[in-house]
Structure 1
């Protein structure tokens, strides 16, 4: 082993010993070509690496199998079919991103930790102790261009379980596309020779039209001033805290009891999102007359006619914004927020997606409005927890930190089973320390 690190979070302390990072190339030669990303893919707000984590318990039937070897070999086989992930991003004129399919490979780290899953306690959810040791950021690995598109670390635990932590360049795929990639990776680990769903590139389907025409109201975006460096930001870990909140059947029922009969059809997602939005707005003590935004990530694959091809793994989502004032959000009944969220999801159509692509190209680079904004993404159906490399379902599978790149005001709805065996969802959220205390109290008032 090349190096050793000790870390602690609360009372938990453990040491991670890791090998030198290595490149994992496709198992056989793959096409060397250049592929353009779509105009949805390469928008400024997606130019970051998103960290994920999969936690697996010991399986007696797999006692003779080394998870590092199994997962590394399966990754090599997966990259044959998803060979753009083995390439490197380049930037062309007008900051257009493209993949140079060089076959150089993904970055892979083998590691061991002197800790058991039981020592993590009952709550295997964000924030994870010592995550920076469970996924070592190789110097330069967080750049957008000329660096591996996938960084992977597999850490064996002393109990026989293991943790798969990785980060991927978000310009390459969205949650649905990542789920497809992960399923193929797991299939290869279990002995498959080809994916059950063949990957489809077809990024031209989400390129700008000729001529571009912005036909929809995009309240979720703001234009970047010419003198601003869009990727410059202060890491929010420096001045905010991360906590996760579990919603089981009883809490969801309590929230549903707050809405009138005509909104009872609204989804669990609508209810939890509205609850978080109101509690967060109150906790941040935003002035009553200030505008606040709730941006909801909507998968647009089925919005097209015909739908995007099965196997399309590029970014194909939008995040339309419900807009109101902080005062109206706080003072109106809870159903007001639920209704705003339910309605805004319906704004996403095929025309809306083309309008977003045209906006990105026609007037320069845009990013999400971050001031007094909140964003929620539903990951319940992406199957991260069911990703089986041979060790069964993950004890936890999903986002590692919450937040999206330079935008901390994002939470994810992740499926989770708590220590009591209750099925529900968990939502990690970043807030300043004092606001987090107020948020926790507000949330308790809402769901108790």
Structure 2
């Protein structure tokens, strides 16, 4: 197949530095959990219907970014080794990554920028801001608060979630979570398979109708529970019976607000907890959607401080040893939740139809919210990745981004159970 030429033209590259230089000798140590993300990158794109920088003058946003970076020394530093517009309707899932700038780490990381921002001005109007970084430096919540804080500073308003770079560590005993990580760290690499991504947008109304049926047996079920179960079950039907990895769902949640006391939302780094949910003793039968939703809901609800602290301690105790990096997003099917970003503004999740997520409060001009936000994880292999995000509609509306082996993605886009919830197909297509 002939290579498709990119529709994105790069006109210039600029470096933005902190307006206040950081003194010599200052370092920011990555945690053991941060270092475990070494194989992955993050790429987030914010789409705006109207260019938030008037008259195409980008000078002011560079000035505000330079000032903003003074509060984020970890972003401007260098790694040292220790010992709805037209694009959204027509772009392929792989093509979207052209809206972010990235290059892999060179042999000498002291001259390499771990954070990249790309400003994309569309011919037909609108603008997209693409931000990429190493996953070692930050998780998706960190990226969202970074860009939101920049937008607030650009508007001359106080920063809602100031950055925090350190957390208190605590030793703990082994738990089932540490056993899961230890097993992942020793897993043999899987054969490389070409992956593709599709994006589904589900309306507030359709998710509300779906949950009304589920709440009879699982009153506390969230949109994440229902959609994680739905996509898990439908993807499971696409896999051969011998693919046991798909019968185990790795669930990734943010633990900032699950700690006691909770970490500030502005904590900058990785605050992610991965746990495994297996389908045991099914005797070959596929679990019903309602039962699978309850299974996911109970699993997420049962994640406690002890599990989280034990994994933090496990990563710290293995830091600096000969253990190689391993894929946190794989080899089993992985599902990522961003439910924690929804009620940070005080709205009740699911009860307030106008409640917006943190990512849709990134406004460089007052009341000019993004019309869509995409979040990609780089170097995903194995059985696939499901990322469940808030949508621009607010309330119960959700966007689901799915990365699967290429031959499976088209089948998923035609799945009757998924199409029964009438999703809008934002982007899909093979690489």
Q: TM-score with structure 2 length normalisation?
A: 0.78
Residue 395 of structure 1: aligned partner: 371
Partner SS state of residue 20, structure 2: coil
* Residues 377, 410 of structure 1: alpha-carbon distance in 2 compared, 3 angstrom cutoff: farther
Residue in 2 that maps onto 1:224 = 185
The equivalent residue for 2:15 is: 23
Q: Which residue of 1 aligns with 2:351?
A: none
1:324 corresponds to which residue?
A: 279
Deviation at 1:404, TM superposition (A): 4.5
For the aligned residues, what is the CA RMSD?
A: 3.6
| Alignment-derived partner of residue 75 in structure 1 | 65
More strand per residue: 1
Distance change >3 Å, CA 280–CA 48, structure 1 → 2: same
Shift of 1:170: 1.7
Are 2:388 and 1:413 equivalent residues in the alignment?
yes
Distance 1:143 1:57 in 2: 40
For the residues of structure 1 that align with 2:265 and 2:406, how far apart are their CA atoms? 44
- 1:41 aligned onto 2:34: yes
What is the match of residue 244 of structure 1? 199
User: Contact 1:202–1:312 at 8 Å: present in 2 too?
Assistant: yes
Relative distance call for 1:168 and 1:369 in structure 2 (3 A) is closer
Tell which deviates more after alignment, 157-166 or 266-275. 157-166
Is the 1:287–1:326 contact (alpha carbons within 8 Å) kept by the matching residues of 2? no
Q: How many residues of Structure 1 are paired with residues of Structure 2 in the alignment?
A: 394
CA distance in structure 2 between the partners assigned to 1:289 and 1:352 by the alignment = 25
Deviation track 1:286-325 (CA, whole Å, cap 9, x = no partner) reads 3387772222222212332222246322212202211115
1:249-306 residue CA offsets vs partner (Å, 9 max, x unmatched):
3432453365472213311110111001000111123338777222222221233222
* Pairing partner for 2:239 from 253, 263, 284: 284
1:225/1:342 CA distance change after superposition, 3 Å = closer
Closer, same or farther: CA 362–191 of 1 in aligned 2, 3 Å: closer
Write the distance in 2 (CA, Å) between the matches of 1:260 and 1:196.
34
| Equivalent residue runs for 1:48-447 within 5 Å | 48-58=40-50, 63-64=54-55, 66=57, 68-93=58-83, 118-120=85-87, 122=89, 127=93, 129=95, 131-132=97-98, 134-138=99-103, 140-141=104-105, 145-146=109-110, 147-192=112-157, 195-203=159-167, 205-206=168-169, 209=171, 213-218=173-178, 220-221=180-181, 222-225=183-186, 234=192, 239-253=194-208, 255-256=210-211, 259=214, 261-287=216-242, 292-309=247-264, 311-325=266-280, 327=282, 330-362=285-317, 364=323, 367-368=327-328, 370-378=330-338, 381=342, 383-390=358-365, 392-399=368-375, 402-407=376-381, 409-417=384-392, 424-444=397-417, 447=420
Distance (Å, rounded) in 2 between the aligned partners of 1:248 and 1:39: 39
Contact in 1 for aligned 2:142/2:268 (Cα 8 Å): yes
Deviation at 1:63, TM superposition (A): 3.5
Post-superposition Cα deviations, 1:33-56, rounded to whole Å, max 9, x if no partner, equal: 01212222221x354321111122
Question: 2:241, 2:64 → 1: CA distance?
Answer: 49
User: 1:39, 1:361 within 8 Å by CA — same for their partners in 2?
Assistant: yes
Q: Find the aligned partners of 2:247 and 2:72 in 1 and give their Cα distance.
A: 40
Greater RCO, CA 8 A, separation 6+: 2
1:63–1:295: structure 2 CA closer, same or farther, 3 Å change rule? same
Cα 1:334/1:186, change in 2 over 3 Å: same
Contact 1:53 1:163 in 2 (8 A): yes
Q: Distance in 1 between matches of 2:284 and 2:90?
A: 32
Query: Could you list the runs of 5+ residues in structure 1 that have no partner in the other structure?
Result: 1-6, 94-116
Instruction: Output the CA distance in 2 between the equivalents of 1:342 and 1:278.
Output: 15
